[in-house]
Structure formats: structure tokens, C-alpha cells
Amino acid sequence: MPSIKDIMQTMEYGPAPESNAEVKAWLSTRSAGIGHFIDGKFTSADGDLIDVVNPATEDVISRVAKGSAADVDAAVAAARAAFPKWSALPGHERAKYLYAIARHIQKRERFFSVLETMDNGKTIRETRDIDIPLVARHFYHHAGWAELVADEFPQHKPVGVCGQIIPWNFPLLMLAWKVAPALAAGNTVVLKPADLTPMTAHAFAELLVEIGLPAGVVNIVQGDGETGAAIAGHPGVDKVAFTGSTDVGRIIRRQIAGSGKKLSLELGGKSPFIVLEDADLDAAVEGVVDAIWFNQGEVCCAGSRLLVQEGVAPRFFEKLKARMATLRVGDPLDKTMDMGAVVSMKQLSRIKALLKAGEQEGATLNLAPVALPEKGAFCTPGFFTNSHPANSVSQVEIFGPVATTLTFRTLDEAVALANDTRYGLAASVWSENVNRAIELAARVKAGVVWINATNMFDAAAPFGGYRESGYGREGGRTGMLEYLTTGWDKQGKVRATSAAPIDVAPATGKADHAAIDVTAKLYIGGKQARPDGGQSYTVFGKGGAAIGEAGLANRKDVRNAVEAANKANAWGGVTAHNRAQVLYFLAENLEQRRDEFVAALAATGAVAKPEDEFEAAIRRCFWYAAQADKFDGSVTATKSQHVTMTVNEPYGTIGVVAPDEAPLLALLSLILPAVTMGNRVVAVASQAHPLIAARLYQVFETSDIPAGVVNLLTGERDVLAKTLAEHDDVAALWYCGSEDGSRMVEVASAGNLKPVWSDLGRLRDWRDTRFGQGQEYLRRASQVKTIWLPYGE
């Protein structure tokens, strides 16, 4: 050991270990292994146990049971049994439990910090200063929602039993993000921690016993992916919430397609970290430390693609290299470490393989000059230079402490590079010019944008992704809605299967002949278009008589319509007032053709009161026109000297598939909210009554709706719906059709993980304003972007 005199010269830090004696003692009394927590009781650890390894030491610290289908059954049954009483409790009673959890997390904060560090490998500084305080904060915040839920969400009720599957990178924090809103809303829970990091969830279950949470309200089933699949697929589960990889997200999406389960996914990312030439470069360098070297880079929202403006790039990279020289990597229980171990040796080799591939592609790997401990899953932090968008390391989520870099010349180029990814979880923007910073924040496709900051979280600030980073939000009011339901969209009677087969051959026995023949086309990019396949199908009206022909759209027509819709992206940028005007004008023009539409509705033979349906359609236009400049985001109270904004942004192109009932009103009810929020729409009109669409596009044409904003297709519903569901450039899909079709589109949507709103083939009373319109539609037509803007000079 060096003498004090020596240290006065070297000025080294020396060791500063956090004691883990109490946690070791706790582990030793559970040496038989960790079982499940079902119906308020701990099961013994039976069967094949999975080793739980401290990745920093490679010691086996425990063994954990692998939940079987029977275990999952028992847990779901317990949650189901606990649900009626728990959900019926006054909000205040649930708030008291959540408050107790928050308090007890605080009372046990050191225990949880040390245990988390030993299980996961992350530093004690992070578990102590970030993870565990955020856990407590999350339960406090949601104790508040439990208290307020009846007042704040009077139309909603809890979903039921929630199956929740969480990852290993923030084990207890992700548990809190899942459990707190679920309980606050009145749901019960079956949660599966990651098999790599099961320990804090087990300790949390012990804490639940300590505070006396009623049995069955929270059940924890340990296990691996198979256990997770059993939970997600269990018929007794009403809602699935998953945080993890995009690949597993896809599997779950397909697995539960057509089940009617509510689903939220928080998946991967390859988030841009954009440094403009007017940024405080030292601040941005420190931002990189918090972005990619935080939690060993095992962060779904890590700023892993550094985009630096060319003029400052050399200086920035020099500063970054200099900064790496003071990074400390080692024993995560040492209080003087910046980085601990990655979660497992397997994960380490995965990271290393990706880094090697990057070097083989010609990128230069700049590594921190650190000496790693000889044992343990430690990874040297660094960043790539000479990396390009075409390199795999620039596209694939490394999930380790290494960022790629790109340079850009202009703001436009920064936006293009930032958005050149399948993901859309987060972004970080560094600039001292508020004009440029907010422009970037507006244009980048990401659910969370941090300006001059990164990796900031708060229970009140919604978190979640765009695109293949998933859907649904966690935190705040928006997060609560993931655990509440109005339920009406899936409670109608089952819709009769479409009676009208597609017939493209000449039909005989036409009822009445128009003076001049009418040609119903498709409407694509603001133009009436003949169907690509050159076919039309016969439309039958009242009494089964043929009343005309409608264009039969095919895959290529869908492709063309989506392309036209995506080109019309200026619509999302016009003012809300502007969109409102267009919708009012649409109503005005529709009204002028009242008699014609009423007659056409009558001719379908499917509308009992054509006058009423038409009147409702006019009102619907007015209602959404009114909403256009009122369905707003908000400013959320997070940290002092921060404006944290939530903005409702359009998805882009939404596909809507209309049912056969209410051929005018249903079609408009689906198109209007999407357009109101700034989306473009590719709409598939009622298969059986498509002639209304042909009249409607004439009204669209005269109503100042820009070309491509609304595109109308007619044809075989499920063929078109499938093409839309599979299309990677369609951002969301609403489907009203059959139960089988619902399953089909949900499976097909897994490709780009577009959110799907399907009705399981249930009839909807479109004239009833509770069901045919409302905030639910507007919410589903928009995605929340949370922008963090710190201020002060």
C-alpha cells in the first residue's frame, strides 16, 4: 500500500468500496434458490434452476426457478381473483399502498442499490443516485394517480390482469415503470423479471409483504423467454406490457394477435446525439458520457449515433478522446467508478463481435485507455470514427459502451441522418441557439428529445418510442392510459361476415340505368385513378340489385396510395387552424350535396335512416374541425429550470379500413380524426357499399384538401388491409372488419411494428358520439413526443 506521502504526489483515488455484507447475508439465507411470488406467498425453488451470476465477479450469487405454464396459470389465477376487490378499492386506498411502497423503497434504498449492482453489474453510483431514487419517484407519482384516477379518468376503468415482461438493464426501475401505473389504475399484475437479473424483483416482493399489499395483486413469476411467452399468451391476461428487444417485441405482437389484449412495447433504439457547431462542446462531451457510457451503454435510449457538424467535428472528437482518458471502469461496488460490468459474459461477446464487425467494415475504434479487471464482463468504452450509415455498427443496436459517429454539413442533413433508422426512441440535440435546437427537436422522429441534455427521466414525463422502438408511453397521464380502458370498441355485437363476394364479370339484371354511365374510380394523390388491375366489381344495392361498379384496387394501388400519402407530408406542418378550415369547408361542400348523398345511402339498402347518417357526418366534420386546434400537448412539471413539453405529433401515413355498416359515416369517422391530427390517410371504403367513396372524393377534391392527404381505395377489404398492414411505410393502421381480419392485420403489422387499432369484428354504433368520435380517436391518431428543454444562463 502506498504511503500517504506517496499519495500526495500521485494523487490517486484509491479504493472506495461500498459494503455488501448485509446483502450477502440476505443472499446466504436464500441459498436454496429463488422461487416465485404467487398469491402473496413465495414458492420454493423447484425444478431446473437458472444460475444468477454477478457479472463483475462471475460468482453465482443465487439460483432462480424457471416458471412453468402451471406457475403462470397459478399467478394469473391469483391476479384474476384479486382483481375485483383491488379494482373496487377507492383510489385513496390504493394510493396508500403505493405511498407505502415508495416510502419503503426509500427506507431500503441502500439494500436495493447494492443488490442491484451485484445482480446487474452496473455501478453503485448509478443504482444509488439514479435507479433507486427514480423507482421511489415513480411510486410516489403513481400514488398520486391512484388518488386521482376516478376524477381524472371518469370514462375509464382498469384493464384487468396485466402481464408484464421486463429487461435486465434497469431491473427494479423497469419493474416500477410497469407495476406502479398498473396498480394505480386498479389492475393486478403478473410480472416476469429477466432471468439475468431476478434479484431486486424478489426483494421487491418481500417488500410488498412488508407493507401488506393484498395477496394476488402483484405476482412475480421468474423465468426465461418461455415463461414470458406463457404470460403474454395466457388467455387470462388482458394487457401485455413488454420492454426489451425489438425482435421479441415482434414475436409478442404476432403471438397475441387477434386476442384483444392491450399491448405496449418499449423496444430498441439507435438514438441520434446531434452536436451543432454552436453547441457548448465541453457540455456535449459530458453529454456523451451520460449518453453512451451510462449503464455500460446498456440503455435502449442511449445516444449511440453521434452526429457532429463538420466544422467542429475534429475538435469535438479530440475533446472526446481526452475525456475518455479519465473514465474509470472496474468493480461496480467501488464508489469511484464510471462504468461497471456489462450484464453477462454472453452479452460481452455479443458486443465484441459487433465491434469487430465495425472495424472490419473500415471504421476506426477509439478506445478509452483503461485497464480492465482480469475477471468479469467488463467492456472498454469507446467510439467509432470513420463510421458511415452503411456500416452495420451504425444501424444495429450495440447495447454496449461504444457509439458510432457521423458528420453533417447542414441542419437538413442532420435531420436526414438522424431519421435514417428503423428506430425512433430518443434523440439528443446540442446547440446554444434555441431556434435551431427546437427545429431539430420538431423534425427528428423520436418519442423523447433532450435538448442540451440526455438520458433524463421523470415519472411525470412520458417515455416511449416511434417506429420500431415500439408504442405506448410510460409515465405521466399518457402512461396511465396504457393501463385504463373505455372498453367500448370491443364490446359490440359481432359483425356479420361480408355477404358480397367480389364479382368482376358483367352483371345482368341492373335495376335502373343512369342517363350517362358512372365510373367509380380510386382516388390517389389527389387524382381519380383507374384501378391498376383494370378491373371493377359489381355493387349491389337495395333488394340485391346491381347498382353500379366500383374500382377493384390491388396491391399496386395500395403502394401508389401510400407513396402519394407520404409525399403529402406538408400537411403535418400546416397550422391546426388551417386544418380546421379545411374540415369546415369539407362540411360545407358535403352539405351542398345533401340530397345526393342521402339518396345514395338509401340506394345501398344498408342504411336505415340515411338522413340521420348524413346529418351525423356533417356534425362529425365540425367536431373534428373544432378539435384540430384544441387537442394539445402540455407542459409537465419535472425538474426545476426545465420546460418538459409533451407534443401530440401525427404518425405520418395511417391506413384506415372501413366496415360495411354506415358506409359514409364510418368512413368519415375514421378519416377525420387522422387528418385532424396532421396524418395522411389511405382509406379502404366499405367493400359492400363502395360507391359512397366515389361521391366522397368529389367532395374532397373541392374542399382544399391537399393532394395525397386523403386517398380512397375500394375493393376486397382484407386483401387491401393486409397489404397496408405489411407496408413498412404505413405508420399506423385502424381496422374495422372481421375477427379473423383483426388477427391477420395484427400479425402482419409486426414487420415495422405499426400500432394497430382493430375492432375484432365488432359492430360499432357510429352515430352514437360516445363510440363514433372522441378523444380516443385523436389519441390513436397521434404519438406523444416529450421534449426536455433546460433553461437558464
Distance CA 106, CA 497 (A): 56
* Total of residues contacting other proteins (CB under 8 A): 40
Distance CA 528, CA 521 (A): 6
Nearest one of 23, 784, 15 to 472, comparing CA atoms: 784
Distance CA 202, CA 198 (A): 7
Shortest reach from residue 280's CB to other proteins, in Å:
4
Contact with other proteins (CB under 8 A): which of 163, 171, 198, 287? 287
Shortest reach from residue 391's CB to other proteins, in Å:
30
> Which CB sits closer to other proteins, 6 or 210?
6
> Which CB sits closer to other proteins, 331 or 549?
331
Question: What is the number of other CB atoms lying within 10 angstroms of the CB of residue 724?
Answer: 29
Shortest reach from residue 643's CB to other proteins, in Å:
11
- Taking CB under 8 A as the rule, does residue 521 contact other proteins? no
Which region among 70-78, 83-91, 162-170, 331-339 touches other proteins (by CB under 8 A)?
A: 331-339
Shortest reach from residue 276's CB to other proteins, in Å:
11
Half-sphere exposure (CA, 13 Å, Cβ side) for 702?
A: 11
Binding to other proteins, residues 97-126 (CB under 8 A):
125
Shortest reach from residue 178's CB to other proteins, in Å:
28
> Which CB sits closer to other proteins, 14 or 47?
14
> Which CB sits closer to other proteins, 16 or 209?
16
| Residue 565 phi, psi (nearest 5) | -65, -45
- Taking CB under 8 A as the rule, does residue 16 contact other proteins? yes
Which region among 14-22, 239-247, 466-474, 526-534 touches other proteins (by CB under 8 A)?
A: 14-22
- Taking CB under 8 A as the rule, does residue 156 contact other proteins? no
Distance CA 438, CA 65 (A): 49
> Which CB sits closer to other proteins, 19 or 360?
19
Interacting residues of 790 by C-beta distance below 8 A, sequence separation 6+: 451, 452, 453, 639, 641, 642, 643
Contact with other proteins (CB under 8 A): which of 71, 195, 331, 338? 338
Binding to other proteins, residues 450-509 (CB under 8 A):
452-453
Which region among 13-21, 340-348, 532-540, 589-597 touches other proteins (by CB under 8 A)?
A: 13-21
Half-sphere exposure (CA, 13 Å, Cβ side) for 66?
A: 12
> Which CB sits closer to other proteins, 73 or 432?
432
Structural contact between residues 329 and 372, judged by C-beta atoms closer than 8 angstroms: yes
Contact with other proteins (CB under 8 A): which of 32, 491, 769, 791? 791
Question: What is the number of other CB atoms lying within 10 angstroms of the CB of residue 566?
Answer: 16
Helix (H, G, I), strand (E, B) or coil at 570: helix
Structural contact between residues 756 and 485, judged by C-beta atoms closer than 8 angstroms: no
Place of cell 343512369: 514
- Taking CB under 8 A as the rule, does residue 591 contact other proteins? no
> Which CB sits closer to other proteins, 150 or 411?
411
Which region among 65-73, 335-343, 709-717, 740-748 touches other proteins (by CB under 8 A)?
A: 335-343
Shortest reach from residue 128's CB to other proteins, in Å:
8
- Taking CB under 8 A as the rule, does residue 434 contact other proteins? no
Please report the DSSP string for 393-429 in residue order. Answer: HHHS---SSEEEEEEESSHHHHHHHHT-SS--SEEEE
Please report the DSSP string for 101-169 in residue order. Answer: HHHHHHHTHHHHHHHHHHHH---HHHIIIIIHHHHHHHHHHHHHHHHHHHHH-TT-EE-SEEEEE--SS
Distance CA 260, CA 495 (A): 16
Shortest reach from residue 58's CB to other proteins, in Å:
25
Distance CA 334, CA 529 (A): 69
Structural contact between residues 625 and 584, judged by C-beta atoms closer than 8 angstroms: yes
Is residue 162 part of the annotated active site? The answer reads no
- Single out the catalytic residue among 266, 468, 474, 726: 266
Shortest reach from residue 168's CB to other proteins, in Å:
24
- Taking CB under 8 A as the rule, does residue 314 contact other proteins? no
Contact with other proteins (CB under 8 A): which of 48, 247, 517, 793? 793
Shortest reach from residue 792's CB to other proteins, in Å:
4
Which region among 2-10, 67-75, 390-398, 659-667 touches other proteins (by CB under 8 A)?
A: 2-10
Q: What is the dihedral of CA 420, 423, 426, 429, to 10 degrees?
A: -10
Please report the DSSP string for 673-739 in residue order. Answer: HHHHTT-EEEEE--SSSTHHHHHHHHHHHTTTPPTTSEEEE-S-HHHHHHHHHH-TT--EEEE-S-H
Shortest reach from residue 303's CB to other proteins, in Å:
14
Which region among 3-11, 302-310, 344-352, 516-524 touches other proteins (by CB under 8 A)?
A: 3-11
Question: What is the number of other CB atoms lying within 10 angstroms of the CB of residue 261?
Answer: 23
- Taking CB under 8 A as the rule, does residue 435 contact other proteins? no
Q: How far is CA 321 from CA 305, 337, 384, 686, in A?
A: 16, 18, 11, 61
- Taking CB under 8 A as the rule, does residue 15 contact other proteins? yes
- Taking CB under 8 A as the rule, does residue 278 contact other proteins? yes
Which region among 282-290, 472-480, 611-619, 760-768 touches other proteins (by CB under 8 A)?
A: 282-290
- Taking CB under 8 A as the rule, does residue 218 contact other proteins? no
Which region among 214-222, 559-567, 737-745, 784-792 touches other proteins (by CB under 8 A)?
A: 784-792
Distance CA 744, CA 721 (A): 9
Determine which helix (DSSP H) or strand (DSSP E) holds 271, and give its type and residue range: strand 271-275
- Taking CB under 8 A as the rule, does residue 429 contact other proteins? no
- Taking CB under 8 A as the rule, does residue 14 contact other proteins? yes
Bridge partners, residue 546, by sequence: 510, 540
- Taking CB under 8 A as the rule, does residue 382 contact other proteins? no
> Which CB sits closer to other proteins, 17 or 90?
17
| Residue 431 phi, psi (nearest 5) | -165, 145
Which region among 4-12, 553-561, 575-583, 603-611 touches other proteins (by CB under 8 A)?
A: 4-12
Shortest reach from residue 24's CB to other proteins, in Å:
20
Bridge partners, residue 220, by sequence: 37, 191
- Taking CB under 8 A as the rule, does residue 13 contact other proteins? yes
Structural contact between residues 151 and 449, judged by C-beta atoms closer than 8 angstroms: no
Place of cell 377493384: 552
Contact with other proteins (CB under 8 A): which of 96, 335, 477, 567? 335
Shortest reach from residue 16's CB to other proteins, in Å:
4
Using a 10 angstrom Cβ sphere, with 0-12 exposed, 13-18 middle and 19 or more buried, the burial of residue 503 is middle
Contact with other proteins (CB under 8 A): which of 226, 282, 632, 704? 282
- Taking CB under 8 A as the rule, does residue 514 contact other proteins? no
- Single out the catalytic residue among 18, 147, 300, 649: 300
Is residue 266 part of the annotated active site? The answer reads yes
Query: What positions carry a catalytic annotation?
Result: 266, 300
Contacts with other proteins by CB under 8 A lie at 1-16, 125, 129, 278-280, 282-284, 286-287, 290, 326, 335-336, 338, 432, 452-453, 641-642, 790-793
